[in-house]
Structure 1
Amino acid sequence: MSTISAHGLPHAGPRPAASRRIALADRFASAEAALKALLERWSIPALRIALGAVFVVFGVLKFFPGASPLEPLVQATWGALTFGLVGGQFAMILTAVIETVAGLALISGVFARLGLVMLAVAFVGILSPVVFFPGELLADAGPTLLGQYVAKNVVLIAAALVVASKVLRGSRAAR
């Protein structure tokens, strides 16, 4: 039974529960679509900047002797990778430059592709201890603190791959 509302229009009375659920579902769908659009626009740039910031912070630490807890590992890794040609403080400075410049390139976004190439080089060094020094990364009870540090870099590599999927140029058909 219909009634007349205060505005002179027919009014069917209270909406059935099913109709209210549909309206609520529509509102959630709209909110979800808006959130998805926001994430599609900003999530990869945010990831690019966060990844860059991580590398700037840890890169800058390596400029100062004794500031990075990874100093002995970095020096030993460079020595292993270069057959003893690069080591000591020079290895630390090289690593600091690579990580800091790559991070700044990612943060700025202007040279992000260069930053990703530099990160690819850095990741070789970052993961090399798995091959060269597995005994330092694992103990009887599981990974050492150093091993955990190296293992968490898998997340940084995955983040770099996601950023690369957006930053790298490809053919127009591939995009």
Structure 2
Amino acid sequence: MTGTIENMIVKLTGWLSRHSIDVLRVSLGLVFVAFGTLKYFPGVSPAEALSVATLEKLSLGTVSGYAAQFVIASMEVFIGLTLVTGKLLKTGLVVMTGAMAGFFAPYVLFFTDLFPGAPTLEAQYIFKDIVLAAAAMVIGARALGARLIPAYERQAPVHEIRERVAA
């Protein structure tokens, strides 16, 4: 019985190491596409006013109003599509790096508005971007060549691993 459970764990670990980062990449992409798409429609995104105000400040007033919202929406949808498809992934990750700076900028630019005491809904909305940034780091590491290797592959000689997986 123990051998069967160990074999199942080895197979599951192998599957997870091969596929989990791709699942993370696609799911993060879907989040970006969904939130970006909302921003194409005025009044639909709960973060619209804050995102427009942030881009207005960051661009020193050169991009404002619906133009700012359109830029943000397009950027987020582009990032999402690169993540979902895997095409232009490194370009999408570079754009995401810039976007992340913009995502967290309201904490600096509008701190007192976001935290008048307890955090506002907008502050909480931005807080979730910490998880998105961490996921982007994992995806970026994979895109740059890092690999997730199960512990059993690092500890056992290759012939033993093949025997475990084949069993």
The two structures have a TM-score, normalised by structure 2, of 0.83
1:116-135 matched pairs, under 5 angstroms: 116-135=93-112
Does 2:134 align with 1:158? yes
Mapped contact 1:102–1:115 kept (Cα < 8 A): yes
Q: Distance in 1 between the 2:87 and 2:19 partners? A: 16
Aligned to 1:68: 45
Higher strand share: 1
Which structure has the higher relative contact order (CA within 8 Å, separation 6+)?
2
Percent identity over the alignment?
40
Q: Tell me the SS of whatever aligns to 2:30.
A: helix
Mapped contact 1:136–1:146 kept (Cα < 8 A): no
Shift of 1:25: 2.3
The runs of 5 or more residues in structure 1 that have no matched partner are 1-23, 171-175
Q: Cα distance 1:139–1:29, how it changes in 2: closer, same or farther (>3 A)?
A: farther
Aligned to 1:42: 19
Q: 1:109 aligns with which of 70, 86, 102?
A: 86
Kindly report the root-mean-square deviation, in angstroms, between the aligned alpha carbons of the 2 structures. 1.2
Aligned to 2:157: none
Count of residue pairs brought into register by the alignment: 146
Shift of 1:139: 3.4
The runs of 5 or more residues in structure 2 that have no matched partner are 147-167
Q: 1:167 aligns with which of 114, 139, 143?
A: 143
Higher helix share: 2
Segments ≥4 residues shifted beyond 3 Å: none
